[in-house]
Amino acid sequence: MTDQDAPTAAAVDRYLTDMLVNEDEALRLARESSAETTAPGIEITPAQGAFLALIAQIAGARRVLEFGTLAGYSTIWLARAVGPEGHVVTCELSEQNAAVARRNLERAGVSERVDILVGPALDSARSLAQEGTEPFDLVFVDADKPNNPGYLEQAVQLGRPGTVLIVDNVVRGGAIVDASSEDPNVIGVRALMDALHDDPRIDATALQTVGLKGWDGFSLARIR
pLDDT of residue 111 exceeding 80? yes
Q: What is the pLDDT of residues 151-179, one digit of tens each?
A: 999 999 999 999 999 999 999 999 999 99
Average of per-residue pLDDT across 89-118? 98
Residue-level pLDDT at 3: 54
What is the 3-class SS of the chain, one letter each residue? CCCCCCCCHHHHHHHHHHHHCCCCHHHHHHHHHHHHCCCCCCCCCHHHHHHHHHHHHHCCCCEEEEECCCCCHHHHHHHHHHCCCCEEEEEECCHHHHHHHHHHHHHHCCHHHEEEEECCHHHHHHHHHHCCCCCCCEEEECCCHHHHHHHHHHHHHHCCCCCEEEEECCCHHHHHHCCCCCCHHHHHHHHHHHHHHHCCCEEEEEEEEEECCEEEEEEEEEEC
- Cβ atoms of 222 and 59 closer than 8 Å: no
The pLDDT of residue 4: 57
As a whole-number percent, the residues of the chain with pLDDT over 70 amount to 97
Q: Into which CATH architecture does domain 9-223 fall?
A: 3-Layer(aba) Sandwich (3.40)
Confidence at 188, pLDDT banded by 50, 70, 90 = very high
Strand partners, 202: 223
Contact 85, 110 (CB under 8 A): no
Q: In one letter, which amino acid is 124? A: S
Candidates 27, 41, 22; CA nearest to 73 is 27
Task: Indicate the pLDDT class of residue 119, thresholds 50, 70 and 90.
Answer: very high
What number is the average pLDDT over the span 127-146? 97
**pLDDT of the residue at 5:** 60
**Whether 66 contacts 38, CB under 8 Å:** no
What is the distance in angstroms between the CA of the first residue and the CA of the last residue of the chain? 47
The residues with which 63 forms a beta bridge, in sequence order, are 87
* Residue 6: pLDDT over 80: no
How many C-beta atoms lie closer than 10 Å to residue 200's C-beta? Answer: 6
Q: How far is CA 141 from the centre of its chain?
A: 5
CA atoms lying within 13 Å on the CB side of residue 172: 17
Domain parsing of the chain, residue ranges: 9-223
Establish how many alpha carbons lie within 13 A of residue 55's alpha carbon, considering only the half-sphere containing its beta carbon. Answer: 25
How sure is the predictor about 1, in pLDDT bands with cuts at 50, 70 and 90?
A: very low
Burial of 185 per CB tally in 10 Å (0-12, 13-18, 19+): middle
Report the predicted TM-score, pTM, of the whole model to 2 decimal places.
0.95
CA pair distance 74, 27, nearest whole angstrom? 9
Q: What pLDDT is recorded for position 127?
A: 97
Instruction: Give the pLDDT of residue 93.
Output: 98
Question: pLDDT tens digit string along 29-64?
Answer: 999 999 999 999 999 999 999 999 999 999 999 999
pLDDT of amino acid 7: 81
